[in-house]
Structure 1
Amino acid sequence: MVAVIVINAITIGCETSSYLVEHLGGLLHVVDRIAVAVFAVELAARLYAYRGDFFRDPWNWFDTIIVSIALIPASGPTSILRTMRILRALRLVSAISSMRNVIDALLSAIPGMLSIVGLLVLVMYVSAVLATQLFGGIAPEYFAELPTSLFTLFQVMTGEAWPDIAEKVMAQQPWAWVFFVGYILMTTFVVLNLFIAVVVNAMDDQNTSAEEQRTEDHLADIAVELARLHAKIDALQSHQTATEPTT
């Protein structure tokens, strides 16, 4: 299934080339239809195997939605769905367990990340109000209004062309470097690194949980084998007792 997903993703990408479509369009279409058929059969087989338990797994819902989109006719009002065929490549996430673990870790980190997002929004808002009041008359293209300042500070946070912005402001306000350096230290080097810390911690917890689950499964298998051996020993002892001659 991983191979089919990868091949299908490559063929969809090839269809963006007019040269390849002109020379290999028929082949690309056939490969695409075969991949859709394989996805549908595989999903039906899993549904038959798991019955009602199939929809208890969120990843099965994810696969069902992706395959359902692929089965909708890409013509008429639904033609826009043809552009969403590349979403099939996302099935690699559900097909590869290590990718699923990463997504599960990210989802488990959302509560902690929301607090950091709130802190980041607060810092950006306060900084944008200050920048609008302090630098609005100096660089109106960057700090004329609050929305403009917010966008500019978001750009500064990413590190994109912020020296040019700071240089224009510092031409009239030499002390403005204090504002920009403090803002960058607070957002880029503190708040954004908190995101990384939360995600890494969530992934570590996810790996620990997965390791504990594997250990429990292994111990359960050992317990089952021990029970089987104990049952065999009891059966042999009973058989031996039954066959011994009475005195």
Structure 2
Amino acid sequence: MSSEPLVPAPPRPAVLSRERVRAAVESRRAQRVITVVILVNAATLGIETSPAMLREYGGALHAVDHAALYVFVAELAAKVYAYRLRFFRDPWNVFDFLIVGMSLLPTTGGLSVLRALRIMRALRLISVVPSLRRVVSALLTAVPGMASIGVLLALVLYVAAVMATKLYGAAAPGYFSDLGTSLLTLFQVMTGDAWSDVAQEVMAKHPSAWVFFVVFILVCTFVVLNLFIAVVVRAMEDETAADSRAASEKNSADRDDRILAELASLQAEVRALKDTLNGGLGAEKVRRETAAVRDIRNG
């Protein structure tokens, strides 16, 4: 039985074709082109909101819009061909598919409202630009922690609203007449929107009310809201670390692929040399083996 090492069989033409398409659509040049198309399309959709500009350049604007849509459809078709069913395993690919698919729906009759949704194509910039994609991923990761803080904030608002309604409802009925109005007023105070006007009206009849407003602002604005920021920052750090690990693993996999390719090349060279030394190969077969080795090296 022969103990010669086996050289991996060359990939099938269909696989090579899909790999070439995948490399093309994922290349930096293609990503830059898609980014420019998204920005231009977003600009034209904004210009269309001006009746004067639409009357003057409506034909050109619609042509640019259709051209951008064709580019997006071609990009998605290429990705589906390259990745096949794996395309739908990536949430960002599904997001792009839904955004572009929405643009293909008819915009006449009862679906004319979809014309206004064409601007959602600009959201594709999130999936194209890695930094934006990282921010959105971090925000989604931070949702559970933000939900817990949101419950805490709602509890503080509710307690403060009940207290304000009972304490200051008669003094400032425009702000604290009932629980719903008090919640809205305190939310306004929390955001810092004209909170001094609210406080001054209440303090006209309750001079010590400043204590309530100062404590409320300190707790809600400077403590609870900063907890939201802390959760998002932590999620961003985790997302950046995950991206770094993924990039390191990808580089390691690429290095392993190069090593395997070199090993396959060396195996072919050793086998060709062995057969030549044993006198089992003619000059023509040596040339074929040499050409095969050269093809493997060239990739």
TM-score band (shorter)? over 0.9
- Any residues of structure 2 matched to 1:84-103 within 5 Å, and which? 84-103=117-136
Identify the residue that residue 105 of structure 2 maps to in structure 1.
72
Identify the residue that residue 222 of structure 1 maps to in structure 2.
255
Superposition RMSD in Å: 1.8
Runs of 4+ in structure 1 displaced over 6 angstroms?
Answer: none
TM-aligned CA deviation for residue 222 of structure 1:
2.3
Q: Aligned in 2, Cα 1:234/1:45: closer, same or farther, shift over 3 Å?
A: closer
- Any residues of structure 2 matched to 1:156-195 within 5 Å, and which? 156-195=189-228
Residue identity opposite 1:72 in structure 2: L
Give 5+ residue unaligned stretches, structure 1: none
TM-aligned CA deviation for residue 96 of structure 1:
1.2
Say which one has the larger Rg: 2
- The question of 1:196 aligning with 2:260 is answered no
Give 5+ residue unaligned stretches, structure 2: 1-33, 280-299
TM-aligned CA deviation for residue 98 of structure 1:
1.4
Which residue of 155, 159, 168 corresponds with 1:126?
Answer: 159
Which residue of 16, 36, 56 corresponds with 1:3?
Answer: 36
> What whole-Å deviation, never above 9, does each CA across 1:208-244 have from its counterpart, x for those lacking one?
0110111112222223333444455566566666639
Q: Aligned in 2, Cα 1:70/1:231: closer, same or farther, shift over 3 Å?
A: closer
Q: Aligned in 2, Cα 1:87/1:176: closer, same or farther, shift over 3 Å?
A: same
The count of residues paired between Structure 1 and Structure 2 equals 245
Which residue of 92, 112, 121 corresponds with 1:59?
Answer: 92
| Structure 2 counterpart SS, 1:123 | helix
Which residue of 201, 206, 212 corresponds with 2:245?
Answer: 212
Residue identity opposite 2:185 in structure 1: T
Identify the residue that residue 43 of structure 1 maps to in structure 2.
76
Q: Aligned in 2, Cα 1:75/1:201: closer, same or farther, shift over 3 Å?
A: same
> What whole-Å deviation, never above 9, does each CA across 1:35-67 have from its counterpart, x for those lacking one?
122222222221122111111111111111111
2:80 and 2:271 mapped to 1: Cα distance? 45
1:36 and 1:227 mapped to 2: Cα distance? 41
Matched-pair identity in %: 52
Q: Aligned in 2, Cα 1:31/1:153: closer, same or farther, shift over 3 Å?
A: same
Identify the residue that residue 296 of structure 2 maps to in structure 1.
none
Q: Aligned in 2, Cα 1:111/1:234: closer, same or farther, shift over 3 Å?
A: same
Instruction: Give TM-score scaled by structure 2 length.
Output: 0.78
Identify the residue that residue 169 of structure 2 maps to in structure 1.
136
